[in-house]
Structure 1
């Protein structure tokens, strides 16, 4: 019983690591935008209003120009968090960072291995 519970926990933690996804600003709804670190309800509302008013964003420069409070540094951070414009990350941004579930997943796997080895 304990093994099954532990394996279920390991599976849950590992799948959380795969939950990270790229979000295209031209296709996303408010919930998807809110899921990006650095975008809250007010910013997602502003993005959606500007997209409705002016149409889809052509590129990162267009996005930065039209959305108040998004400058070059902020755009890079948002891109690193998974935001894209027309399927493209901001030039100069590091590759999108994976979800922080990787370390707990490794710890849970080690714990599962130890439990399997000891039989407890």
Structure 2
């Protein structure tokens, strides 16, 4: 909920400084709200669409470097077919995966 409000505020500020139209701002806010709503409904982090910030925020034991490594691996090798594919990412081990398995999804 905080992210949606922050995004709304961010786009309003951008419109003042950069001249974005109100319809462009509304479309961006709706898209942000839809993504946030989808994440809240499932309650799990989709490892094929999450960004580095989401990995870092929602996974135990994942800092900036490992979060970036996950995104980079996905960009270079394509989408993950299972949660266990995270073990292929350098720095992600069995213990880290097991601590986070119930928070993750592949959609």
Q: TM-score, normalised by structure 1?
A: 0.48
Higher-Rg structure is: 1
Aligned match of 2:44: 22
Contact 2:56–2:67 at 8 Å: present in 1 too? Answer: yes
Structure 2, unpaired ranges of 5+? 1-39
In 1, the alpha carbon distance for the partners of 2:51 and 2:90 equals 18
- Post-superposition Cα deviations, 1:52-107, rounded to whole Å, max 9, x if no partner, equal 0000111133221x201222221011224x2x1415xxxxxxxxxxxxxxxxxxxx
Give aligned pairs, total.
65
Please list every run of at least 4 consecutive aligned residues from structure 1 whose deviation after the TM superposition is greater than 4 angstroms.
none
Whole-angstrom CA distance in 1 between matches of 2:73 and 2:61: 18
Give the helix-richer structure, 1 or 2: 2
The root-mean-square deviation of aligned C-alpha atoms, in Å, is 1.8
Alignment partner, residue 76 of structure 1: 98
Query: Residue by residue, what CA displacement relative to the aligned partner does 1:8-56 show, whole Å, maximum 9, x if unpaired?
Result: xxxxxxxxxx8xx321111101221111222111111000000000001
Q: Is the Cα–Cα contact under 8 Å of residues 26 and 57 in structure 1 kept in the other structure? A: yes
Structure 1: 5+ residue runs without aligned partners? 1-17, 88-120
